[in-house]
Structure 1
Amino acid sequence: MSLLELAENGDRHAQCELGSHYKNNIGNKNEAFYWYNKAAENGNTSAQYNLGLCYENGIGLYYENGIVVVRNEYKAFYWYKKAVENNNTDAQYNLGSCYENGIGIKKDKAKAFDWYKKAADNENISAQYKLGLCYEKGIDDVKASYWYEKALANKNKGVEKIDIETFELTIKNAFKCDKVNFIPYNELESVKSLNKGGFGHIMRAIWTKTNNYVICKKLIKTSDIKYDLFDGFIHELKMHLRLDCYNDRIIRCLGVTFDQKTNEYLLIMQYANGGDLQNYLKENFKKLTWDNKKKLALQIADGLNYLHNEDVLHRDLHSKNIVIHDGNAKITDFGISKIQNNQQSTIHFGNIGIIAYMEPKRILDQSFPYIKSSDIYSFGVLMWEISSGYPPFKNCENIITLGLAINRGARETAIPETPIEYEELYKKCWEQEPEQRPAISEVLNEFKRMNVGIELMKVSQNDETPKVQDDDELFSNNCNFEFANKIHELLDRTLITAILD
């Protein structure tokens, strides 16, 4: 017997399941309401809860005294109460919300608190955040902290969807301020996947508030994140907030959003109309003069100088994490960045990055400290890439061989007709010993000696996120790629030592 036949024969569980099917899969709200109503009247507690949602949010139409009604807060409260009486724990949270906000019942903060407490005790994440907020407003930081931490510990069980209000409360609690810009997900249209990598899924969308393209970054869980995706999301957002001073050399984070359908957090960032540096060089290299190339290198150095002045280590500088907007270079992707001398400011462990750009000392020794000179090494490789037009060691497919070679001092060959002062600078930057590499301030001074002046660093006065146009193939992956750890997966320390000897 089909689900529909079971429902029509009065099976309350089939009726509820059919309601959910119409609501979530087909999108027919009227049919969803009809079957939830049938099941609720037959005593199905899940349907009673969902019927309360329908009445509260105006999902589906029904007739009352010949008049079409789309929303009824009193009936919403009635069905939440019914569901609670039948031990539906989700409805406990909604009942608390009704008492707090006067939905179908007179406001009663004491009863709201009681229902939030019952729902929180039953592991309802939204209620746990609410309870934390209640205690915080009541100036009981210990209990507030307990419930916030309880919610964080439970939120990845995958049992419960998180609502928008809970998402905002979570972010505000993480930062203890109202600095974060919350962007409603329904303001993002024409969302299109651009690239999916090891740590993130990069999408492009139109932000209807500005009619501009933006980048949406969704993190992907990997074994390299110490805790969970939310920690990774908060970490990268913190880095953006630390750096978000409208610096021309950094891709800005415009805000955050939450997709309730997928229960996922997303960072919303500036879109770059020239794509990433690697593809930009591939498409435009023949047109670039040496002044153009120096300008790109100087702009990256200027961005790195800003990071280092803020004591931020990027830790993953490569040509996919440099983007081009209106011909000017900007640094992006702070997913594995950290604050210098702060061991708690990173949520990743192990070697993460692309071998050709990685600090040579860390390739075989993951305990070797990552410091500012490690970013300088990566910058030196980028300078070479700008001079050549293609990635370093592009024809070397064996990453184990490449890693061992770089660790021993192997570097790319200088491109003919490279200005001698430019070549000397990148070779200083990629010195084997970190202490022999210049500081970023010295790098900027070297560019001044090359007569790469302020006129080459100027960006357009209209350096805004581009309006909608048909250039969607320009932007490439901003995600990280793990290569170095494979060396340790495939070779043990004894074999490596033998090879080096």
Structure 2
Amino acid sequence: MQTTPLSPEDPAQIGGFELLGRIGQGGMGQVYLGESPGGEPAAVKVIKPSVVDSTSRLRFAQEIDILKTVWGARIAQLLDADADAEQPWLATEYVEGPDLGKHVMTHGPLPALLVLSLGATIAEGLGYVHKQGLLHRDLKPANILLGPNGPKIIDFGLAVFAESSASLTAANTVVGTPSCMPPEQANGEKPLTSAVDVYALGTVLLFAATGHLPYHANNIHVLFHMVTDPATAPDLTGTPPELAPLLTSMLSHRAEDRPTVSKVVQQCRALVEAQGLKLAQARRRLTTYTAAPLQEFLSVLPAVASQDVTPPAPALSDPADTPPGNGPRSAPADESAAEPTLFLTSPHQAPVGLPAQPESTVLAPQSAQDERGDQEEENPSNAQNMPRRARGTGRPPARSLRHSAQARRTAQQLREAYAARAAF
């Protein structure tokens, strides 16, 4: 996950977490890389002072309550939070790695076998969420982090209890990411069921396999019409043949026609085993393939970049594979894994308040009709079709600075350098 220096107006710490850099930002808040007093890295989300009001506090408190409830190996865990602070904040487990959207936009689509591994892993994680009576409601490529221990689901800010029809949003509004939203959610139907997350996972897997989402349009209302129109089929262009039946069923217009998350796991497993591998082996290959080089702070300042960091060797592919980034289906630059936050009170009102980074969409429906650990086996049968990492070069591995005094000194250097270059 790319980290940038703190700006002069950023706090040095929040809730006892020392802040080391910026991870990302949106319309509601800023996310920092932090370190606990005991040296534990964390993603610290802070609500911007300009948007702190009773409604934002209530929504933030709901997100904290959800994070206290959900658990599982595929969920970024809550560490600490304070919804009543002057600037409400929460700290979650820090996942070292890019989100799926950035990885695909940078390196191109994943091989089909790895998409199946991703699907089984995330579907199993969603199964634990659903067993607790919860729905994510905003699953998208940007909310899947590709960490060193496998993919993890983040951002439960829009999560709700499955049996509840209540919402913190205004009446007749739709909340979510349009391109990843199922028709019933786009139509404002309540209560929603676990099928909404199955559909969203289908859009995530389609993006992972092809670099595009099922529906895309320049106009938000045209996009919503495409999503809700049963006669407009999702765009599966470029989908590998072995994935097409599964994705078609997951993206079914009617919720009752979609498989359950447990069925998704079973189908992914069957397709992986048909290629001569166990699912656990495919998962390890996914983690190896998507593991990104560490983003050390020193890389921001060329003058000191050579002090401590030796970059890991790049990923290599077998001759039979197309290297990441040069595949025939690389994502176009103008297609994003997420949508910007829009607040529309009528179908003709212009968007306002676009954030620097994409988040979710809040949109009023247009009409009454639209309301809405083992070692891998040597030389598996299809090993020639899978990318492998380069062998070691004999150099010592890159040393992480995040848990050391050097990390704090580096963060201070970055603050001072940033302040020296700033025009204010």
TM bucket, shorter chain: 0.5 to 0.7
1:140-161 residue CA offsets vs partner (Å, 9 max, x unmatched):
xxxxxxxxxxxxxxxxxxxxxx
The question of 1:397 aligning with 2:218 is answered yes
RMSD value, Cα? 4.1
The question of 1:206 aligning with 2:35 is answered yes
The structure whose Rg is larger is: 1
| Corresponding residue SS for 1:330 | strand
Q: Which residue of 2 aligns with 1:219?
A: 47
The 3 A distance-change label for structure 1 pair 467 and 285 is closer
Q: Which residue of 1 aligns with 2:259?
A: 438
1:243-283 residue CA offsets vs partner (Å, 9 max, x unmatched):
13xx22111111125897xx212111122222211001122
The question of 1:267 aligning with 2:60 is answered no
Identical amino acids, percent of aligned pairs = 19
The 3 A distance-change label for structure 1 pair 381 and 436 is same
The question of 1:455 aligning with 2:281 is answered yes
Q: Which residue of 2 aligns with 1:242?
A: 69
Please give the TM-score of this superposition, normalised by the length of structure 2: 0.60
Relative to its length, the structure with more helix (as a share) is 1
Which whole-Å CA distance do the structure 2 matches of 1:378 and 1:484 have between them? 21
Report the alpha carbon displacement of residue 315 of structure 1 after superposing the two structures with TM: 0.8
The question of 1:197 aligning with 2:26 is answered yes
Report the alpha carbon displacement of residue 327 of structure 1 after superposing the two structures with TM: 6.7
Report the alpha carbon displacement of residue 376 of structure 1 after superposing the two structures with TM: 1.3
Higher relative contact order structure (alpha carbons within 8 Å, sequence separation ≥ 6): 2
The question of 1:321 aligning with 2:143 is answered yes
Show the 5 A alignment for 1:266-285.
266-285=89-108
Show the 5 A alignment for 1:341-420.
341-343=163-165, 346-349=167-170, 350-363=173-186, 365-393=187-215, 396-409=217-230, 410-416=232-238, 418-420=240-242
| Corresponding residue SS for 1:320 | helix
Report the alpha carbon displacement of residue 340 of structure 1 after superposing the two structures with TM: 1.4
Residue pair 1:202, 1:215 contacting (<8 A) in 2 also: yes
The 3 A distance-change label for structure 1 pair 472 and 436 is farther
Which whole-Å CA distance do the structure 2 matches of 1:356 and 1:214 have between them? 30
Show the 5 A alignment for 1:460-475.
469-470=296-297
Q: Which residue of 1 aligns with 2:18?
A: 188
Report the alpha carbon displacement of residue 411 of structure 1 after superposing the two structures with TM: 4.0
Which whole-Å CA distance do the structure 1 matches of 2:162 and 2:349 have between them? 31
Find the partner of 1:338 among 147, 156, 160: 160
Which whole-Å CA distance do the structure 1 matches of 2:139 and 2:98 have between them? 16
| Corresponding residue SS for 1:248 | coil
| Corresponding residue SS for 1:193 | strand
Which whole-Å CA distance do the structure 2 matches of 1:354 and 1:484 have between them? 12
The 3 A distance-change label for structure 1 pair 259 and 239 is closer
The count of residues paired between Structure 1 and Structure 2 equals: 302
Which whole-Å CA distance do the structure 2 matches of 1:355 and 1:256 have between them? 29
Show the 5 A alignment for 1:90-105.
none
The question of 1:423 aligning with 2:244 is answered yes
Q: Which runs of 5+ in 1 are unaligned?
A: 1-182, 461-465
Q: Which runs of 5+ in 2 are unaligned?
A: 1-12, 274-278, 288-292, 301-335, 351-362, 371-424
Which whole-Å CA distance do the structure 2 matches of 1:230 and 1:185 have between them? 16
Please give the TM-score of this superposition, normalised by the length of structure 1: 0.52
1:463-496 residue CA offsets vs partner (Å, 9 max, x unmatched):
xxx99834999xxx99985448566464999975
